[in-house]
Structure 1
Amino acid sequence: MSLAAAVPLGVGSAVVYGMSIVVQHRTAQEHADDEPSAAGLLRQMRSPAWLLAIGGDFVGFLLQIAALSAGSVVIVQPLVVLMLPVALLVSYLLGGPRPGLGELLGVTGVLAGLGVFMGLVGHGGMTHVPKARYFALTVAIVFVAGILLCLAVTGRNRIVRAVTFGAVAGVYFGTLAVLVDAASERVSRTDGLGVLFTTPRGLVPLVGIVVVGVGGIVLTQLSFQIGALGATLPANLATDPLTGVVLGAALLREHLPTSPWHIAVYVLCLAAVLAGTIRLANPYRDAR
């Protein structure tokens, strides 16, 4: 486990994701119907710009895999919040609003919260790979609960649906990171990719990655059709690292100091990151 490799790779992944997400949102808006629809999703999937952005997501995913191979999910996944400052800059370069003092304070809050959290957690410890049935149960609960939550907000206003879709997509992506971490740990212990296809402890996480990965991508694109990136992106970036850290500690038994003092500081770090994320999302609120 190498923190020196995991952090730069995790930052690189967040940068690539942040660049891609702006293009995806703009493309979704160009092809969106009055309501989120499969037809609108199919139209944007034929757009060269959207395909290029999805290619960027694939590069970001490869960097994330490399980061999780070098470090624990409780260290790597919180770095995903850096997507938002990157998206802010890319949006400005593509003709969006100029970042002001509020946005700079938002960046400061995000970086400060992440820095303190990572300093407290340290290396995160070694990853424990549980039995396949625990992976299967986790994926089933997360996926079904997410779908039910999305169905529950059918017919609600656009902001509520955008926040819900974004939050559920974030939970899916956080779960995906835990599965990738477990799969990479399994491969490293056996010195071969074949273990992912020949043993339950390898195959179940691999299937789970496909399920929650596809679910997260679809929900993200549908939320972009709604038009409220300022609602969906903060929700996504709040639940993604939170899910990764919680499942990383509970399912993979990665080390997370839990003294009352540590928990109090974690809450302050989360508050700083959330405040900065919401502040940075403001320029997107009226985008449509």
Structure 2
Amino acid sequence: MSLAVAVPFGVGSAVVYGASIVVQHRMAQAHVGDEGEASASALLQMARNPVWLMAIGGDLVGFLLQIVALSLGSVVVIQPLVVLMLPVALVVSALTGGHHPRRADYLGVLGVLGGLAVFLALIGRPAAGHVPRPHVIGMAVLAVLVLGAGLVLTVIGRGRVCRGVMYGAVAGLYFGTLAVLVDAASDRFSKAGLHGLLATPRGFVPLIGIVLVGAGGIVLTQLSFQVGALGATLPANLATDPLTGVLLGVLLLRENVPISAWRAVVYALCLVAVVAGAIRLADPEHERRG
């Protein structure tokens, strides 16, 4: 495990994701369904747009960088770095004709960076984890998929903000799980090579999970962007993503995170700081407020 190499790759992944997310949201808003609602047909229209495809290609680059980071570092350290995409998105939006940052935006950046920095300082350098047996990973993936589908079904017919929050939260749940599966797959590849990854249950079970939760996360993210309430959907995504990654990293991979009563309180405060900063940075209404 080499955090000195893993962390820069994790940061690079967040930078690429942050740049791509600005383009994806703008394209989603330009391809909404009737009455501004999310729809499968609008998603198919975007899939034929070269600009949107380039942004998705950016996500692929970010994912490849994340794979390198997770193969070298622990999930509980690397996955929280995803919140850095918000400050990056703020800069990219300003450079591409979006609103110019105001004082409250900088406070939002401070909340995101401060919460992340304190969290990483508290967990220190976690010990190497242990990848569970394939049937455990398979059951965990199935449980996450069923939970996510159930949560999405509960908001059918609800308001746009409610649906946007749930789509974003479930997408974050899937992406956090994705990080754990990537870590498990990279561990198998490092120990048994390509044959061990593709031809044994310890390898192909995480790969199947990666495909399923990755596809689900992408679709739900795009649907949440079509709903349009970015100030609600993105914070929900960026709260559940690292939280899921850390929890599954501890429970499934047995990565050690120092825990005590006071640490639990500080961890919660870090999450609140990140979410509050995310709400400010993702609020679509602040462009019209003085």
Global fold match (TM > 0.5): yes
Give the direction of change, closer, same or farther, for the CA distance of 1:88–1:216 in structure 2 (3 Å limit).
Answer: same
> How big is each residue's C-alpha offset from its partner over 1:38-72, in whole Å with a ceiling of 9 and x where there is no partner?
11001011111100001100000000000001100
Structure 2 counterpart SS, 1:154: coil
Structure 1 range deviating more: 267-276 or 98-107: 267-276
Any residues of structure 2 matched to 1:254-269 within 5 Å, and which? 254-269=255-270
Q: How many residues end up aligned between the 2 structures?
A: 286
* Secondary structure of the structure 1 residue equivalent to 2:59: helix
Distance change (3 Å), C-alpha of 1:71 and 1:54 = same
Deviations 1:83-115 (A, max 9, x none): 111111111122211111111011111111111
Tell me how far apart the structure 1 counterparts of residues 284 and 148 of structure 2 sit (CA, whole Å). 28
Partner in structure 1 of residue 174 of structure 2: 172
**1:76-91, aligned counterparts within 5 Å?**
76-91=78-93
Q: Which residue of 1 aligns with 2:5?
A: 5
Contact 2:231–2:280 (CA under 8 A) maintained in structure 1: no
Identity among equivalent pairs (%): 66
Tell me, yes or no, if the aligned pair for 1:228 and 1:284 is still in contact at 8 Å. Answer: no
Call closer, same or farther: CA 1:186–1:127 in 2, change over 3 Å: farther
Q: Does 1:71 align with 2:73?
A: yes
Task: State the SS of the aligned residue for 1:112.
Answer: helix
Which residue number corresponds to residue 233 of structure 2?
232
**Gaps spanning 5+ residues in structure 2: where?**
none
Residue 40 of structure 2 is matched in structure 1 by 38
TM-score, with length taken from structure 1: 0.96
The change in CA–CA distance for 1:286 and 1:221 in structure 2 (over 3 A counts) is farther
Q: Which whole-Å CA distance do the structure 1 matches of 2:254 and 2:142 have between them?
A: 20
Please, what TM-score do these two structures have when normalized by structure 2?
A: 0.96
Q: CA deviation at 1:205?
A: 0.5
Distance 2:287 2:138 in 1: 40
**Are the aligned partners of 1:229 and 1:285 in contact in 2 as well (CA < 8 Å)?**
no
* 1:286 to partner: Cα distance: 7.5
Q: Quick one: distance in 2 between partners of 1:286 and 1:234?
A: 17
Superposed, 1:86-105 pairs within 5 Å as 86-105=88-107
RMSD across aligned positions (CA): 1.3
1:138-177 mapped onto 2 (5 Å cutoff): 138-177=140-179
Q: How far apart are the structure 2 equivalents of 1:117 and 1:42?
A: 39
Query: Which deviates more, 143-152 or 12-21?
Result: 143-152
1:285, distance to aligned residue in structure 2 (A): 6.7
Question: What corresponds to 1:220 in structure 2?
Answer: 221
Counterparts of 1:230 and 1:193 in 2: how far apart (Å)?
Answer: 42
Does the aligned pair in 2 maintain the 1:13–1:63 contact within 8 Å?
A: yes
Partner of 1:271: 272
Unaligned runs of at least 5 residues, structure 1: none
**1:17–1:60 CA contact under 8 A, matched in 2:** yes
Contact 1:10–1:64 under 8 Å retained in 2: yes
The alpha-carbon deviation at position 218 of structure 1 amounts to 0.5
The one-letter code sitting in structure 1 at the alignment partner of 2:157 is G
CA contact (8 A) 2:130 2:253 kept: yes
Q: What secondary structure, in the 3-state scheme, does the structure 2 residue paired with 1:194 have?
A: helix
CA deviations over 1:173-203 (Å, ceiling 9, x no partner): 000000001111122222x122111111111
CA–CA separation in structure 1 for the residues paired with 2:67 and 2:158: 36
Distance 1:82 1:161, change over 3 A: same
Alignment of 1:114-129 (within 5 A): 114-129=116-131
1:9-56, Cα deviation, whole Å (9 max, x unpaired): 111000000100110111111111132111100101111110000110
Partner SS state of residue 126, structure 1: coil
